[in-house]
Amino acid sequence: MLAEAGVLADWLRVRRTPLPEMVAGNGRPVMVIPGFLTSDVRTAALRRALTAAGYDAHGWGLGRNLGVTPHLLDALEDRIRTAGDGRPVALVGWSLGGLYARELAARTPDLVERVVTMGSPFSGDPRGNNAWRLYESVAGHPVDAPPIPRHGAPKPPVPTIALWSRRDGIVAPACARGDEAESDRRIEVDCLHMGFIVSPAAIRAVLAALDARIESTH
């Protein structure tokens, strides 16, 4: 976890390094869902990059992410409907936010254009990360028993891309990479866990994932 302190270098790098010109987002709606104990403030740099690339970028608008609650996905579904305004929304979820994105896409695939997870522990042991004890203390339930129904399919029925890093100091890389059946593409990114939302490498990977043409496998 000490290596995650290097995220400051990533933050400075993204401020000083111009990102490559990408294919325009053409106004497509994208929602960025923050990780555990963070809010839209933490994902602002990524959303600015998405806006600069031509996407209609939205935060999740639900304050600090304190873990799963019985009505959280209902509230997030309402936010997605508003953000999309009749169009499906691409969901970019960082860490715990990626689990929400996958669950929402499984639950309401008509609302979700695609899912991009960033260092999200969607595969294997839910305790395969360095934050599960803190999660249980804050959220008030076991990490493997959230207070919502869960869909059992290996992956959502929409294009699903998993970004993972072997340098991740919070989530076990194998849990964020997953098996082939759990995502349509698995892409390694050279960044820290906290760097998924600020490092140039991660932002490039997110932009590429949003632009990729993918035939979803169910």
pLDDT at 58 (0 to 100): 99
Residues with Cβ < 8 Å from 63, sequence gap 6 or more? 39
Question: Model pTM?
Answer: 0.91
- Express each pLDDT in 133-181 by its tens digit: 999 999 999 999 999 888 778 999 999 999 999 999 999 999 999 999 9
CA distances from 167 to 9, 22, 188, 193 (A): 14, 26, 10, 8
Burial of 21 (0-12, 13-18, 19+ CB in 10 A): exposed
What is the rounded CA–CA span in Å between residue 115 and residue 160? 5
Beta strands in the chain (DSSP E): 29-33, 56-59, 89-94, 112-118, 160-164, 185-188
Mean pLDDT lowest among 6-15, 69-78, 120-129: 6-15
Q: Is 200 helix (H, G, I), strand (E, B) or coil?
A: helix
Q: What share of the chain is helix, strand, coil (3-state, %, to 5)?
A: 40, 15, 45
Question: Is residue 178 within 8 Å of 136, Cβ to Cβ?
Answer: no
Residue 138: DSSP 8-state: H
- Express each pLDDT in 170-218 by its tens digit: 999 999 999 999 999 999 999 999 999 999 999 999 999 999 998 766 6
Place of tokens 């690339």: 53
What is the rounded CA–CA span in Å between residue 161 and residue 22? 18
Burial of 194 (0-12, 13-18, 19+ CB in 10 A): buried
Domains of the chain, CATH where assigned: 2-18+27-211 (3.40.50.1820)
Please name every residue paired with 33 in a beta bridge, in sequence order, or none if there are none.
93
Residues with Cβ < 8 Å from 202, sequence gap 6 or more? 118, 163, 189, 191, 195, 196
Place of tokens 């935060």: 59
Q: What percent of the chain has pLDDT over 70?
A: 88
